Chain A
Amino acid sequence: MKRRDLFGLAAALTVTTSLAGPLAAQDALKIGAVGPKTGPLAGGAAVTFWPNVQLWAHDVNEAGGIDVGGTKRMVEIIEYDDQTNPGETIKAVQRLATQDEADFILAPYGTGLNIASAPIFERYGYPMVTHTAISDQIEDLSGKFPNMYFLLGGATGLAGGVVDVLSQMREAGEIGSNVAMVNVADAFGIELAEAARPQFEEAGFEIIYDSSYPLGTQDLSPVINGAKDANPDAFVAWSYPPDTFGLTEQAQIAGLAPKAFYTAVATAFPAYAGRFGAAAEGVLGAGGVFADGDAFKDYAARHEAVTGAKPDFWASAPAYASFQILQQAIEGAGTTDKAAVAEYIANNDFDTIIGPITWDDNNANAEYWTVGQWQGGVFKGVASTGREGAVPAQPKTGWE
């Protein structure tokens, strides 16, 4: 408590654009933010989650605050580190609800941490618009937690997007039907590989090399060499951030250069292009955005100006959009009553930086980006389940 009193005092004394804003703290809406600052997911959260919390608070306060039934109210962010530990996430959300008496709480970061804290959000009636939860059990979850919403999409869609993109490239005569597929032996990688196998088969692709590697593998040369020996037309890796980088690097060294080269998580990170430069050109990856759209361009410019870092080309914009939905719902309901805001979210469509959002029967956003490609230094969306602005995928021309 003391810390926040001091914070409010400092904010009142100094004219800054800090998170609390120049307004006295008692008028501000208290918004809780829980995410990993330490632990295995801290790296991803530092790219995708925390900068957007900062940017959103900045944008709201710069505009004079959130309009609650005619009164403009600034937002004050209360941040907690959950150490990538579900027990800590639960405790932190509990603390926000009962000790800090937060008006609203932003959804945490990552599938497991979101689901672990869902009962607490539910108990206190906080609406929960998740931005980084990918699950194949959305139906069960939204049935049990009616205030839980899903923005980022599902594994079947992500895998299906890749199959679609490769099918189109094959129709255009750019690649053949032989696919080398590898996956990291961890939750997300396993789920995607499992979802992709039947879809590839159905589309008439032959998986001529199918392998997996443990999470945290340092030496990925056997994986890449195995794929290279199979001489595939397309290489698909359901990978996590460290191995996305490792596989790309190893493919360059070994000279594995098919016309379609796909790595999953973190291909959409600005750091990927930063590391590989021109060689990243033509690499396909999970996610994507309408990179040429004004909404994203404007958002990316503000993101860089306020946080000093570029947004990623996948979950960053949905994370920001999930905060926008909360904001629009508070303004639409005209009150900070959680039940009224939750009801507003359930019954309305939203216009966000990733475009219009409509909920399906399971409280999920059915239209999301699935595949993107580095083209001209920008990771552009090439496939989605209904978003506009996709550009055609181009064949990759080596690593030069």
Chain B
Amino acid sequence: MSLTKRDWQSITLSAVLLAVAACLPLTGDAYMLSIGITIAMYAVLATSWALFSGPTHYISLATAAFFGLGTYTTAIGIENGLNYWVTLPIAAILGAVLAALVGLATLRLSGVYFVIFTLGLAELVRQVVTWGQNVSGQKGLYVLTDITEVHIYWQLLVLAGIVYLTGWAIGRSRLGFALRIIGDDEEVARHSGINTSRAKILLFMVSGATAAVVGSMLAPRYIYIEPALAFTPMLSFLVVIMALLGGTGRLWGPLVGVIPFTLLWEAISASFPNQTTLLLGLSFLVIVYLLPRGFVGLIESSKRKLREREAFA
């Protein structure tokens, strides 16, 4: 596949933006950095979520399962003397394997069955981990490393770069084309000779592996790992909401949801510490009623309006 001038433009632009983002720690503002980590973490999670759920319209609530799996992989790995960097690819492989297993079992189903199963998956993995701890008599794990927040931030940015490249490559490939057809009409896709389950499982594996690596990278930040903290269902919901706020139709869509949402959430937490959940619920309602297609939809419809106005002028 050959790259057009426009492709080169967008690649250059993305690289420049990532490089600018990588300079954040140089400001020396640790508070900005901790918000930056949150944004980078959710940007990677929401984008990789949208890679799968955007074209296929399968809503996955399993992010926490993969995230927790990655967290535990790093924690157990480090406790057994593995190098931190070795645990990242292991987490990716385990995440992909788990996604493949789940995919094989459930992606033949569609709609609400899939949503419910993925929601249960995080709980299932958490219970398995807890059971394992109970049998082995081991409790919370400690990840004591020399990795600082700056390192975690840069790692997340690199991962974000990889996810964008992957998403871009998939979008241009036969796989991406197949997924768009599946999203439009799965029956048609099957009749056109597309192996729909294979396509869905492959994408789900990419998404699962990414979330697992994010979990791995965050483990040194949490230091103390226990099931309730690693497998929190809130994470799955936040990822879905942020991705939908941005819009899943474009690769950069989730990002434009993650940044304002994280800042809004930060403002709510800082100014109304006693009403966070209430205000979170209100913002959800606003998003759903006023921005049903996310920011991407808003931007594109205003672009269209602008074009129409120009045409009439």
Contacts and interface: CB of A to CB of B under 8 A. Distances in A.
A188 B31 contact: no
Contacts of B138: 190
Contact of B223 (A84, A115, A183): A115
A40 B228 CA distance: 9
B131 A85 contact: no
18 contacts: A79-B273, A80-B270, A81-B276, A85-B234, A86-B224, A92-B269, A97-B30, A97-B31, A99-B31, A116-B223, A137-B142, A140-B144, A185-B133, A186-B227, A187-B139, A187-B227, A190-B134, A212-B134
Contact of A83 (B29, B144, B228, B276): B276
Contacts of A194: 137, 139
Interface string B187-224: 00000000000000000000000000000001001111
B137 A88 contact: no
Nearest to A79: B273
Interface of A: 2-3, 37-40, 79-81, 83-88, 90-92, 94-95, 97-99, 111-112, 115-116, 118-119, 123, 137, 140-141, 144, 183, 185-188, 190-191, 193-194, 212, 214-215
Contacts of B227: 186-187
A92 B31 CA distance: 9
Given A83-B276, A99-B270, A185-B131, A94 B31 contact: yes
B35 A91 contact: yes
A316 to B, nearest CB: 21
Interface string B270-304: 11011011000000000000000000000000000
B34 A94 contact: yes
Contacts of A94: 30-31, 34
Interface of B: 29-31, 34-35, 38, 127, 130-131, 133-134, 137-140, 142, 144, 218, 221-224, 226-229, 232, 234, 266, 269-271, 273-274, 276-277
Contacts of B228: 40, 84, 112, 186-187, 215
A214 B276 contact: no
B284 to A, nearest CB: 15
A86 B276 contact: no
A84 B139 CA distance: 18
A214 B130 contact: yes
Given A91-B266, A112-B229, A183-B134, 18 more contacts: A37-B276, A40-B228, A79-B274, A80-B270, A83-B276, A85-B234, A95-B34, A112-B224, A112-B228, A115-B142, A115-B223, A116-B221, A116-B223, A137-B142, A140-B144, A186-B228, A187-B226, A215-B130
Contacts of B30: 94, 97-98, 123
Which 4 interchain pairs have the tightest Cβ spacing?
Answer: A115-B224, A98-B31, A185-B134, A194-B137
A190 B228 CA distance: 14
B263 to A, nearest CB: 12
B144 A144 contact: yes
Contacts of B133: 185, 187, 190
A197 to B, nearest CB: 8
Nearest to B270: A95
Contacts of A87: 38, 218, 221-222
A191 B31 contact: no
A75 B281 CA distance: 33
A116 B222 contact: yes
B154 to A, nearest CB: 17
Contacts of B226: 112, 186-187
Nearest to A3: B271
Contact of B139 (A79, A81, A191): A191
A119 B223 contact: yes
B127 A214 contact: yes
Contacts of B223: 115-116, 118-119
A111 B222 contact: no
Given A85-B232, A85-B234, A38 B276 contact: yes
A123 B31 CA distance: 12
B222 A86 contact: yes
A81 B269 contact: yes
Contacts of B221: 86-87, 90, 116
A3 B276 CA distance: 15
A185 B269 contact: no
A81 B274 CA distance: 7
A80 B273 contact: yes
Contacts of A79: 273-274
A305 B135 CA distance: 46
A91 B274 contact: no
A38 B278 CA distance: 11
Nearest to A98: B31
A76 to B, nearest CB: 14
A113 to B, nearest CB: 9
A186 B232 CA distance: 14
A190 B229 CA distance: 16
A144 B31 CA distance: 22
Contacts of B34: 90-91, 94-95
Contacts of A80: 269-270, 273
Nearest to A136: B139
B127 to A, nearest CB: 6
Contacts of B134: 183, 185, 190, 212
Interface centre among B221, B228, B269, B273 (most CB of A within 10 A): B273
Contact of A37 (B31, B137, B222, B273): B273
A190 B274 contact: no
Contacts of A37: 273-274, 276
